[in-house]
Amino acid sequence: MLSLKTKLSDIPRIGPKYAAALKKLNMETVEDFLLHFPFRYEDYSERVAIDNLAAGQTATVMGEVTKSKLIRTWKKKMLITECFVQDDTGTVRAVWFNQPYVSDSLTEGKGVRLSGKVSEDAKGLFFSNPAWELSSRIPTNTGRLVPIYPETEGLTSKWIRWQLQNLIKFADELQDPIPENILKGLHLPSLSEAIKYIHFPKNAKQAEIAQKRFAFQQMFLLQLASQRAKISWERQQSVTIPFDEKLMQKFVAALPFSLTNAQRKAAFQILKDLEKPRPMNRLLNGDVGSGKTVVAAMAALSVINSGYQVAIMAPTEVLARQHYLTLSALLKNRDINIALLTNSYKEINNFQFPISNFQTNPNFQNSKLKIQSKFKIRNSKLGDQISRDELISQIKFGAINLVIGTHALIQKGVKFKNLALVVIDEQHRFGVDQRAYLQQPASTRGNDRSSTRGGQISEINDGLPEKTPHLLSMSATPIPRTLAMAFFGNLDLSVLDEMPKNRKTIKTKIITAAERQKTYDFVRSEIKNGRQVFIIFPLVEESQKMSELKAATEEHARLSKNVFPDLKLALLHGRLKSNEKEKIMQDFNDKKYDILVSTSVVEVGIDIPNASIMIIEDADRFGLSQLHQFRGRVGRAEHQSYCFLFAKSSALSKSRLKAMEKYASGFDIAEEDFKLRGPGEFFGTRQSGLPDIAMQHVTNVKLIEIASDYAEETLKENPSLKKYPLLQKELEKFQKNVHLE
Ligand code: ADP
Ligand code: MG
């Protein structure tokens, strides 16, 4: 007997070929199939008498086929089915291209329903490729609100609807994970009702209420997950770092600038978090150039001053090295040993490291590690290299206070003596697993690996077995408030929504082909004044990497030869090795080049204060938030800076780009981007793992608030959710697919 759990491969009218395709979409059972949702509807519910049809209208007509033929156009090798359908009021023509089987079904005398958009040509009104169905059939594809499914793996919406006609009855067997009283309170339909509504809505209202139910369900689960994560995070222990106000005041006073209020507030929140015996989990969200690094440096200093270690992770080697240099400067003359650990760089920067420190370190004396004679840590200076093994030993013995690196930091073999703070820059660029790894207590960190090497767990003792490091994530992608509420409910949020005062607003202008030369002239004059220029060919997709490279290479050649033959141009792209990139950036920083032509590799974090012009080619192809990231590469010093958006541009993209001219703040741009492209695009549905249907409601603040309240109430009443086994199961399933920050 068939049931919800029946394998799709066992359903006679599906068959093995389709079952395999469905499996690729993670649909294996009848239940999975029912939970495969449409992402929109085509409204074919308006029945119109043929005589009343008008061009441009979307309508359904019903009538009898009076003429039907298959035409082959020799020139274009196309097969056209042409049909005439008549009702009491008139006749209309319908054509289908390259669907010869239509003419097999729609023979003269057959009753048919057609749905689609009405077109008009010299011969009058007609339907082009309309949806059709024999009128004897239950309306499924025509004459109603018709669901449109994501069509992948050769599964058409029509086929899915046809299957669902047969399977929808199993919806009655579904058990609802959402407690009944919650649904009642919100006037939302039960699961089985909602499933029927979502696939076969009688009207728009049914479709809407079903969507709302599932959106609520997703939001509710999301809130449950994040609130539970927060509760369990708060149950972990961390070391407490006293807030040394004097130290911080001294540090701030020594800076060449005064902190913005936003920086002050964020630093205060962080330093207060560090005082608590439970680990901080805070996101520092601030526009490019809002000064997150200094805030992170204050946190690091505070922790190091209390005798613990700090790790800072950046997504790229170039960025890691930049942080290394910046932090070395910020924390100099303080007895702080700083190291850089990436695959290419193993450097140590020790400004004042008394050797006695080292010798009296009990860990060091007891260890089996022998001091190697070539060990040069004592008088190391910026840029001094160290072997990976040596560096790792020094981290393990606590001789290094601050390690900066890429994900190499969490690779095999890296152990800390007493890691108390982890800072992750550009956190969204790291994998979920990498982030999760750092958030475990030290005692469990590394267990997986050592156990495979045969019970060396006792050796993994980084001094703080039961403690979880405080975690500070940083992101330069401004997150609209509603999104932050929905997705980062488990994090505390500090926002740097104020730019340093010395910053001039970057003048942004859309440049059309006609103004290109004028712009180049301006570029030349700025360079004459000593400034430098970025020209970017941003990356669209991974698959376009090659063409992007080609475009950048050709443009570099063209500009060098024809436009700026007297200037020095460099070319930077992702195919270069890390040290080659580094060299070019360094040379650019040292003003050995006037113009840096680059692919999107400069998107993140690069700091060249002297650069004052950012030119973005094909700007109309990119999202606003991304453009804003590029723009943030200039305007990092006192010079008036400019961003020129080269665009071929249709009207729409121009209006989109106009937002760049209008708004300076990344938060404003993010809201605009969010409005224009929708949350799915903005946030990447794939990344969040949430179905489209829930993403569409992410902007619905009210729904998020309601979901959050219900989640809180539910967890308060029943923290383990044991009372709601179905909900608990659903939550587990949800957490497998959705990634919380
Ligand atoms: P981001 O938030 O993008 O990481 P950074 O921390 O790299 O920004 O800071 C950008 C630049 O601004 C750096 O050169 C930094 O020294 C400088 N900066 C930071 N805070 C201030 C401030 N309050 N006033 C002036 N300049 C500042
Ligand atoms: Mg930064």
Instruction: Using the predicted structure, report yes or no on whether residue 239 has a pLDDT greater than 60.
Output: yes
In angstroms, what is the span from residue 425 Cα to ligand 2's centroid? 7
Q: Which ligand is nearest to the CA of 500?
A: 1
User: Would you say 59 and 118 are in contact if contact means Cβ atoms under 8 Å apart?
Assistant: yes
pLDDT in tens, 700-732: 778 888 998 999 999 999 988 999 999 999 998
Q: Whose CA is nearest to atom 15 of ligand 1?
A: 291
Which tokens go with 283? 């996101």
Instruction: Using the predicted structure, report yes or no on whether residue 148 has a pLDDT greater than 60.
Output: yes
Identify the pLDDT of residue 677: 66
Identify the pLDDT of residue 436: 56
Instruction: Using the predicted structure, report yes or no on whether residue 435 has a pLDDT greater than 60.
Output: no
Helix axes 666-683, 651-662, angle to 10 degrees: 140
Q: Give the chain's domains with CATH numbers.
A: 1-40+144-174 (no CATH), 46-143 (2.40.50.140), 263-275+290-446+465-475 (3.40.50.300), 507-664 (3.40.50.300)
Identify the pLDDT of residue 514: 86
In angstroms, what is the span from residue 477 Cα to ligand 2's centroid? 11
In angstroms, what is the span from residue 468 Cα to ligand 1's centroid? 29
Q: What is the mean pLDDT of the chain?
A: 82
In DSSP terms, which residues pair with 614 in a beta bridge?
Answer: 534, 643
Q: Whose CA is nearest to atom 22 of ligand 1?
A: 500
Instruction: Using the predicted structure, report yes or no on whether residue 533 has a pLDDT greater than 50.
Output: yes
pLDDT in tens, 168-227: 999 999 999 999 999 999 999 999 999 999 999 999 899 989 988 988 998 899 889 888
Position 546 confidence tier, pLDDT thresholds 50, 70, 90: low
Q: Whose CA is nearest to atom 16 of ligand 1?
A: 291
Instruction: Using the predicted structure, report yes or no on whether residue 291 has a pLDDT greater than 80.
Output: yes
DSSP strand pairing (124-128 vs 91-97)? parallel
Q: Whose CA is nearest to atom 19 of ligand 1?
A: 291
In angstroms, what is the span from residue 500 Cα to ligand 1's centroid? 7
Q: Which residue has the tokens 């409005």?
A: 675
Identify the pLDDT of residue 364: 42
Write the DSSP string, 325-387: HHHHHHTTTSS-EEEEESSS-EEEEESS--HHHHHH-HHHHHSSPPPPTT--GGG--TTEE--
Report CA-CA distances (Å) from 316 to 174, 326, 582.
47, 15, 11
Q: Give the closest residue to 724 by CA, choosing from 713, 735, 737.
A: 713
Q: Which residues line ligand 1 (CB under 6 A)?
A: 257, 259-260, 263, 286, 288-294, 476, 500, 502, 607, 636
From 258, 261, 293, 429, give the residue whose CB has the most ligand 1 atoms within 8 Å, as the site to mutate. 293
**Radius of gyration for the chain, computed over Cα atoms and rounded to the nearest angstrom:** 31
Work out which ligand 1 atom sits closest to the CA atom of 496: 2
Mean of pLDDT values over 548-570: 86
Q: Whose CA is nearest to atom 9 of ligand 1?
A: 291
Position 365 confidence tier, pLDDT thresholds 50, 70, 90: very low
Position 258 confidence tier, pLDDT thresholds 50, 70, 90: very high
> Which of 580-594, 636-650, 691-705 tops mean pLDDT?
580-594
In angstroms, what is the span from residue 288 Cα to ligand 1's centroid? 9
Identify the pLDDT of residue 352: 35
Identify the pLDDT of residue 539: 59
In angstroms, what is the span from residue 424 Cα to ligand 1's centroid? 17
* Weakest mean pLDDT among 150-154, 331-335, 736-740: 736-740
pLDDT in tens, 101-125: 888 889 999 999 999 999 999 999 9
Q: Whose CA is nearest to atom 23 of ligand 1?
A: 259
* Weakest mean pLDDT among 286-300, 412-426, 502-516, 684-698: 684-698
Position 268 confidence tier, pLDDT thresholds 50, 70, 90: very high
In angstroms, what is the span from residue 486 Cα to ligand 1's centroid? 29
Q: Is 34 helix (H, G, I), strand (E, B) or coil?
A: helix
Higher pLDDT, 697 or 78: 78
Q: Whose CA is nearest to atom 18 of ligand 1?
A: 291
Instruction: Using the predicted structure, report yes or no on whether residue 77 has a pLDDT greater than 90.
Output: no
